[in-house]
Amino acid sequence: MGDIDSLRNTLVNILLDPTVEAKQLPLSLFENITDNFSDERVVGRGGFGTVYKGFLPNDRVVAVKRLKINRRVVDDKSFYAEVASMKMLRNKNVVRLLGYCIHMEEKEILYDGEKIAAEKRERLLCMEFVPHGPVKKGGPPGGAEWPDRHQIIKGICNGLDYIHSKGFIHLDLKPDNILLDKGMVPKIADFGISRFFDDENTSSTLSFVGTRGYTAPEYIDDGLVSNKADIYSLGTVIFELLTDFKGPKLYQKAQEDNESFVQQELEKWTEALRRTHQGCALEFATKEVETCLRIALNCKDHNRHRRRTAKQISQILDLTLDPYILDPDKPEEAVHVENFSSLQDMDLHPSQPWILLSLLSGYIVMLNYDTKVTLAPFKLSDKPVHSAKFVEGNRDWNIVAGDDHGVLYVCNFDWIEEGLVKVKTVVASEGKGIISLAVNPSQRYVLLSTGSTIMIRNTEDWTCMYEGPSYFRTVTHASFNTDKDESFGVGFCDGSVKVWKYDDKPKDYLGVASVTEPEATLKHAGGVTATCYVPELKIILSGTDNGVVTVWCAVTYSFFFSLPAAAASTQKQGILCST
């Protein structure tokens, strides 16, 4: 029993450490954890074998696949191929192989009253147990389920992209081979007929194995195999996750009139989504459904060369927003109102319930939005203060602000005991007012915009690390991409926002090695007065002096939509995003 306990612990260690490779383990271990392959432990049966639950210490569970042993179903060559395939694949959207067993022994048995030698062979695979089983098929049950379905489709595509990137072709992708874990994360399983190619573009001719209805026509007709065969199967899977059509009926319906088919299914989903979505959320969810339907149609193209790759499909889905937070509950009246003359800018503290305001009068003010208390204002300058920002992660400086004479104020504060303490002033841009400030995600740099240029200063000694050229247009606002330390956007009075990338590895006398030419320009009808990155949604928000807020994709810089100006609004002085 001691040996079995040791083997069980070995399997537990493999299960808990995703970096450990699958090991060959003895038959006795798998007989022990499956109660000698009891029928009560069966969780699935298929053409290649039976899957059992295996129980380990501390209520941990694994799946044990006992393969059928005959030359028609599986032989040693195909078993070794599956083991080799699964040992190489480690991805959250692919079922992980933990162990395997190759067992062979000769026994004497009685046959017609005589003792004869018989061979006992077992081929077993031990995998992570995926509790929710195969994905469910069918059309729109209710709008609330759409976000889960969308994430499942994205996960399947990501898993398939990973498989193809490692040179594998699955050849039997179908809902029964896509399992959901307790977090509803899809995992691709069953590599029993997968093929490995060193070159992902390689094609080969093979005799048919697979599941009809999911198999590409070039594979059925000519035995031609490439990773585009999996893409065809993916199209069927997506259709079955979105519609009520199955198999040949699905294929026939989709081929009759592609556009009509998409619109018909989209109308069904739109009706279902209206029960749980409104406004922008409904618009974007409907767009997501349409995108998935059109992806599936492309996957089912008879010409394999016109089908997209799994990577291209994943990229399309990654650019599709999940914007369900864009329609917040709106109170009938304001919870709290404070009036400030000539408000210039706002900043939200990342961890405290504070809002920092900068005023035309030269004051900065802090609000506690939990207690609704306005903390004592502090006069920084006789000149207007157009922007003030929190700087976290540096013990010396807590607030940085800039005035209309080009002076940068670096301050720390203890509002309760000492009030605001002005620590340091830096002449950043003599005679040129500091219009806006932005702090990069690592808190290492501050981006300043004046009326005609931009510059970057570090937060250690506040020296200038980069100063851009002078622009003939007025620079009105600048902000960092808060998702990555690699880009920033600058708004101009002519209605354009230019996006630059920068390299923050110090080089020569510059703290910032290089700032590239603008990689994108976003055009607006009005002058830009505010910009904001929202990394969770991968979008850029921009506000203009005509009161319009525009939403852009932060990856492709393409236009999404605009929110019309409020009746009483003349311009957007700032945009705050709390996620």
Strand order in the sheet with 559-563: 528-534, 539-544, 549-553, 559-563
Tokens, residue 156: 């399947």
CA dist 8 and 459 (Å) reads 54
CA distances from 330 to 25, 144, 335 (A): 60, 21, 10
65 labeled part of a ligand binding site:
yes
Place of tokens 């937070």: 325
Task: From the candidates 172, 190, 322, 347, give the one annotated as an active-site residue.
Answer: 172
Q: Is the dihedral of CA 232, 238, 242, 245 positive or negative?
A: positive
Judge contact between 88 and 166, C-beta under 8 A.
Answer: yes
Place of tokens 């450490």: 17
Q: How far apart are the first and last CA of the chain?
A: 54
Q: What kind and span of H or E run contains 497? A: strand 496-503
Q: HSE on the CB side for 357, CA within 13 Å?
A: 21
CA dist 491 and 544 (Å) reads 9
Strands 539-544 and 549-553, sheet pairing: antiparallel
Place of tokens 């340091």: 424
Residue ranges in 41-171 assigned as alpha helix (H): 76-88, 146-165
Tokens, residue 503: 């390299």
The Cβ of residue 557 has, within 10 Å, a number of other Cβ atoms equal to 15
The DSSP string of 379-427 is E--SS-EEEEEE--S-SS-SEEEEETTSEEEEEEEETTTTEEEEEEEEE
Residue 333 CA to its chain's centroid (Å): 36
Strand-pairing partners, residue 187, are: 179
Q: What kind and span of H or E run contains 221? A: helix 217-222
Strands 23-24 and 97-111, sheet pairing: parallel
Q: What are the backbone angles phi and psi of residue 352, rounded to the nearest 5°?
A: -110, 155
The DSSP string of 428-460 is SSTTS-EEEEEE-TTSSEEEEEESS-EEEEETT
Helix (H, G, I), strand (E, B) or coil at 267: helix
Judge contact between 79 and 122, C-beta under 8 A.
Answer: no
277, 168, 279: which is closest to 229 by C-alpha?
Answer: 168
Tokens, residue 513: 């090695």
Label residue 331 exposed, middle or buried (CB < 10 Å: 0-12, 13-18, 19+). exposed
| Whether residue 199 lies in the annotated active site | no
The Cβ of residue 549 has, within 10 Å, a number of other Cβ atoms equal to 19
List the binding residues: 65
List the binding residues for ATP: 65
| Active-site residue set | 172
